[in-house]
Amino acid sequence: MVCCDGTWSKPDNKVVTNVEKIARSVQNDPALASGITQLVYYIAGVGASSYAADRMLGGAFGFGLSQNVISSYRFLAQNYEPGDEIFIVGFSRGAYTARSLAGMIGRVGLLTERALVEERLRDAVRLYQRKQPDEGAFGASVGEFSHDHCHPARIRFLGVFDTVGALGVPGFRWRSPRFHDVQLGPAVLCARQALAIDETRLVFAPTLWEISADAPAGTSTHDERVKQVWFEGAHADVGGGYPETGLSDTALLWMAREARAAGLVFDVSLLSHYVASGSDPIRHDPLTLGFRLHNAALTAGHALGFGRAAAERLIGGRRRLTNPRAVSIAVASSAINHVQSGEYEPVNVEDYRAATDGFSGVSEPVTALPEAGVDLEPLGGVDAA
């Protein structure tokens, strides 16, 4: 299992994210996981170094993201055996890292241990980075390389919290390498994304899974492998990072249940420390003065014709919950219940309610926390369903 944390996030932060909570809660006793050894590799977010320059470059520009992809890929290659199941989770730019890692495995395959010893990692990275159609000489070279040096590995579960930005580098698209593949390929068997309804920073545009831009007209946007679910709260209210964790715990429990359904076993005694914390479900406002000014600058640019594609994904300054190409979009029942109570009326959710005839067919069952008596036993143990 690979756990890719968000920008500036690391395991010794005072408040940790849902990615770190998942990493800590995976069952490490094979006897309690049907005899299966579950290895966890955690990688801190870009900009998480204690060095000021690294924090600035990683935080502002996402420097280090590509290296995180390569490091995660190397861990999997060094430990994978045929028949193993790969689970990947991530948050924010770490979600982009997770999706890029899945893209690299899907495009190239997963190097064998011998191929690592034979110094083929550099070749695998170069093939992944070559942004050409997988056909002709290039396609043949990828296919030949994969056949000779790689396992045809599949990703059993890819779970991400609020993937943001172009290459996960909000506001700096022109600086972003273009080779990262974050679309959902056939190598991914199960994909889940928790998204933030109330995030208002325009540079934190969500990166949804979508059908291809050149897909034939009438192509279905429903994919049985995928759930993209909108949760109440801002970016870190979904992925974690605030001291008040009621909302992020709700998203955490949903993701844990989805991962368990795919085969991951948790240590319930550890997971319950988080999801049974009783913390209040407080929505936070991330719009500091700096982000307000940034929003104003971007809005002015939209008015002048710049960034129109991004502007079209907003409604009333908030994220639209879907677009014509978005795949398998749903809204958490916890958010729907709050809307229907009349106490929660975000314009983007109201727009989606109208478009779906009152959320018809798009409600995802979710347990809103804090809630007493939540049964976590099915998430762990050899007898779990």
CB-count burial class (<10 Å; 0-12, 13-18, 19+) for 133:
exposed
Q: What is the mean pLDDT of residues 90-113?
A: 95
> Does pLDDT of 106 surpass 70?
yes
> Does pLDDT of 173 surpass 70?
no
10 Å Cβ neighbour count for 347? 12
How many independent structural domains does the chain possess?
Answer: 1
> Does pLDDT of 85 surpass 60?
yes
Determine the pLDDT at residue 302. Answer: 64
Confidence of residue 101 (pLDDT cuts 50, 70, 90): very high
Tell me the C-alpha distance between 274 and 188, whole Å.
28
Among 68, 89, 62, smallest CA distance to 170 is for 62
Confidence of residue 384 (pLDDT cuts 50, 70, 90): very low
Determine the pLDDT at residue 275. Answer: 86
Confidence of residue 136 (pLDDT cuts 50, 70, 90): low
> Does pLDDT of 170 surpass 80?
no
CB-count burial class (<10 Å; 0-12, 13-18, 19+) for 12:
exposed
- Would 183 be classed as within a structural domain? yes
In the numeric block, which tokens belong to residue 34? 């049907």
Determine the pLDDT at residue 60. Answer: 44
In the numeric block, which tokens belong to residue 143? 């296919």
In the numeric block, which tokens belong to residue 180? 């990262």
What DSSP designation does 377 have?
Answer: G
Among 195, 192, 197, smallest CA distance to 207 is for 195
Tell whether pTM > 0.75. Answer: yes
Tell me the C-alpha distance between 51 and 56, whole Å.
9
> Does pLDDT of 54 surpass 90?
no
Q: Which of 31-35, 45-49, 278-282, 322-326 has the lowest mean pLDDT?
A: 45-49
Confidence of residue 280 (pLDDT cuts 50, 70, 90): confident
Confidence of residue 289 (pLDDT cuts 50, 70, 90): confident
- Would 187 be classed as within a structural domain? yes
> Does pLDDT of 55 surpass 60?
no
Confidence of residue 151 (pLDDT cuts 50, 70, 90): very high
- Would 180 be classed as within a structural domain? yes
Determine the pLDDT at residue 46. Answer: 67
Tell me the residue range of the domain where 277 lies: 2-109+153-284+369-379
- Would 299 be classed as within a structural domain? no
CATH of the domain at 217: 3.40.50
> Does pLDDT of 180 surpass 90?
no
Q: Tally helices (H) and strands (E) across the chain.
A: 14, 12
More confident residue, 215 or 161: 161
Token pair 């056909």 in the structure block, residue: 135
Distance, CA of 222 to chain centre: 19
Determine the pLDDT at residue 107. Answer: 92
CB-count burial class (<10 Å; 0-12, 13-18, 19+) for 381:
middle
- Would 296 be classed as within a structural domain? no
User: Which tens digit of pLDDT belongs to each residue from 292-322?
Assistant: 887 777 777 666 665 555 556 778 778 999 9
Strands 191-196 and 318-319, how do they pair? unpaired
Determine the pLDDT at residue 138. Answer: 54
| Beta-bridge mates of residue 318 | 315
- Would 310 be classed as within a structural domain? no
- Would 344 be classed as within a structural domain? no
More confident residue, 174 or 101: 101
> Does pLDDT of 342 surpass 70?
yes
- Would 79 be classed as within a structural domain? yes
